[in-house]
């Protein structure tokens, strides 16, 4: 099949406009090459495309059977939904959900709203549009402050966890002024953190669980900017920035008793379904000292490189990287086949015959 592969890489134009966001959103060249080779190993013709302002024209000028999408988009507070929106409008099949799922999963406040409405355990929270808004009485300190629609640890550091109201309001004011967006304040769960790679649709299923081990000032995960991107960020901003190293590592598979393992997988799959995930996603959870589990968030299009947690969870199940990438693609193909896409149905039928012969 002819597979379009869409991702984010930095351009000079985007670096001038929004340097930090561009570099944190950018996929490493090594990741792009790995995924491209894996798709080619699956027998597909691969066309690589950057999620830049020229993408809409390319999508209308070329023909694709399906898109493998890991892009976060470019502009706007729901930019992660823009590529799926274009693909849905042009009726091009793609991995991952459409606009609704992407919008929910890339807005932490909406995720938590959905989880709470469906009875899934998540920590108490409040959205701040101003630093002087009244504090929700349900929130207890310590509290962690996050940007609601950003990933890659943007706006997050060890100062994000605050222990009193004065520190909370100072942190919220700083984030609003720096990033010009609301702030999600969430009760901080001091405990163990787990990551679950979930794949598939009817039904979804979980890979072996990863547990994060922290060795920094606080047990919070801080993603580290690629060295090359960090140097570009310093040049683009003209600031003498300090590189924040990721002081955590993931242990895969986690050493868990069967009962806890089953509870974590069950909750991760429930969160995956509640948030509208499709084909693949990473679910992050925390467990407090009393053994209560809480959903932190569902991550669509998480890091997929062979050294990322998602891939390592698949490796723990005995999968190869090629199998992981093509399984994600095949889950999307199966969804569209179920919806009556004749071209995809024909491909899957041929694939089934080839497997029987093998």
What pLDDT score does 80 carry? 81
What pLDDT score does 193 carry? 95
Q: What is the pLDDT along the chain (358 residues), one digit of tens a residue?
A: 999 999 988 766 766 666 666 666 778 888 999 999 999 999 999 999 999 888 999 999 999 999 999 998 776 667 788 999 999 999 999 999 988 988 888 888 899 999 999 999 999 999 999 999 999 888 999 999 998 876 656 777 888 999 999 999 999 999 999 888 899 999 999 999 999 999 999 999 999 999 998 776 776 766 655 555 566 666 666 655 565 565 768 899 999 999 999 999 999 999 999 999 999 999 999 999 999 999 999 999 888 999 999 999 999 999 999 999 999 999 999 999 977 666 677 667 655 545 444 4
Tell me the Cα Rg of the chain: 20
CB 81 within 8 A of CB 96: no
CB 27 within 8 A of CB 7: yes
What pLDDT score does 152 carry? 56
Phi-psi region of 340 (alpha: psi -120 to 50; beta: other; left: phi over 0): left
The 3-state DSSP class for residue 199 equals strand
* Cα dihedral 56/58/63/68 (nearest 10): -70
| Four-residue CA torsion sign, 168, 169, 171, 176 | positive
* Residue 50 to residue 329: CA distance in whole angstroms: 19
Query: For the chain, which domains are there?
Result: 124-187 (3.30.1490)
What pLDDT score does 232 carry? 64
What pLDDT score does 353 carry? 43
What pLDDT score does 292 carry? 97
* Residue 68 to residue 48: CA distance in whole angstroms: 10
What pLDDT score does 345 carry? 72
CB 266 within 8 A of CB 272: no
* Residue 344 to residue 332: CA distance in whole angstroms: 10
* Residue 219 to residue 213: CA distance in whole angstroms: 8
Is residue 305 exposed (0-12), middle (13-18) or buried (19+ Cβ within 10 Å)?
Answer: middle
What pLDDT score does 273 carry? 96
* Residue 201 to residue 13: CA distance in whole angstroms: 38
What pLDDT score does 19 carry? 63
């Amino acid at each position: 099949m002819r597979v379009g592969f869409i991702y984010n890489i930095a351009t000079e134009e985007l670096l001038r406009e929004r340097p930090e966001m561009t570099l944190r959103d950018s996929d490493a060249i090594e990741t792009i090459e790995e995924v491209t080779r894996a798709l080619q190993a699956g027998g597909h013709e691969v066309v690589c495309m950057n999620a830049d302002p020229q993408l809409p024209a390319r999508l209308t000028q070329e023909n694709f059977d399906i898109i493998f999408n890991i892009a976060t988009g470019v502009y706007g507070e729901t930019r992660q939904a823009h590529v799926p929106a274009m693909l849905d409008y042009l009726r091009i099949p793609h991995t991952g959900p459409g606009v609704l799922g992407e919008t929910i999963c890339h807005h932490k406040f909406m995720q938590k709203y959905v989880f709470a409405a469906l009875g899934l355990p998540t920590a108490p929270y409040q959205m701040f549009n101003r630093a002087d808004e009244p504090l929700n009485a349900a929130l207890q300190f310590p509290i962690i402050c996050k940007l609601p629609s950003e990933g890659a640890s943007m706006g997050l550091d060890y100062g994000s966890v605050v222990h009193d109201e004065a520190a909370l309001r100072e942190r919220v004011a700083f984030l609003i002024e720096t990033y010009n967006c609301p702030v999600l304040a969430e009760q901080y769960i001091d405990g163990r953190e787990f990551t679950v790679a979930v794949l598939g649709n009817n039904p979804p299923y979980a890979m072996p669980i990863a547990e994060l081990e922290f060795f920094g000032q606080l047990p919070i995960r801080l993603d580290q900017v690629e060295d090359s991107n960090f140097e570009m960020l310093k040049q683009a901003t003209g600031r003498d920035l300090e590189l924040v190293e990721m002081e955590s590592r993931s242990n895969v598979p986690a050493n868990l008793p069967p009962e806890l393992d089953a509870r974590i997988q069950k909750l991760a799959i429930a969160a995956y379904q509640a948030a509208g995930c499709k084909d693949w996603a990473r679910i992050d959870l925390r467990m407090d000292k009393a053994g209560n589990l809480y959903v932190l968030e569902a991550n669509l299009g998480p890091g997929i490189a062979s050294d990322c947690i998602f891939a390592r969870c698949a490796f723990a199940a005995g999968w190869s990287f090629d199998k992981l990438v093509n399984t994600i693609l095949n889950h999307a193909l199966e969804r569209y086949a179920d919806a009556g896409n004749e071209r995809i149905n024909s491909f899957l039928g041929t694939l089934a015959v080839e497997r029987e012969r093998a």
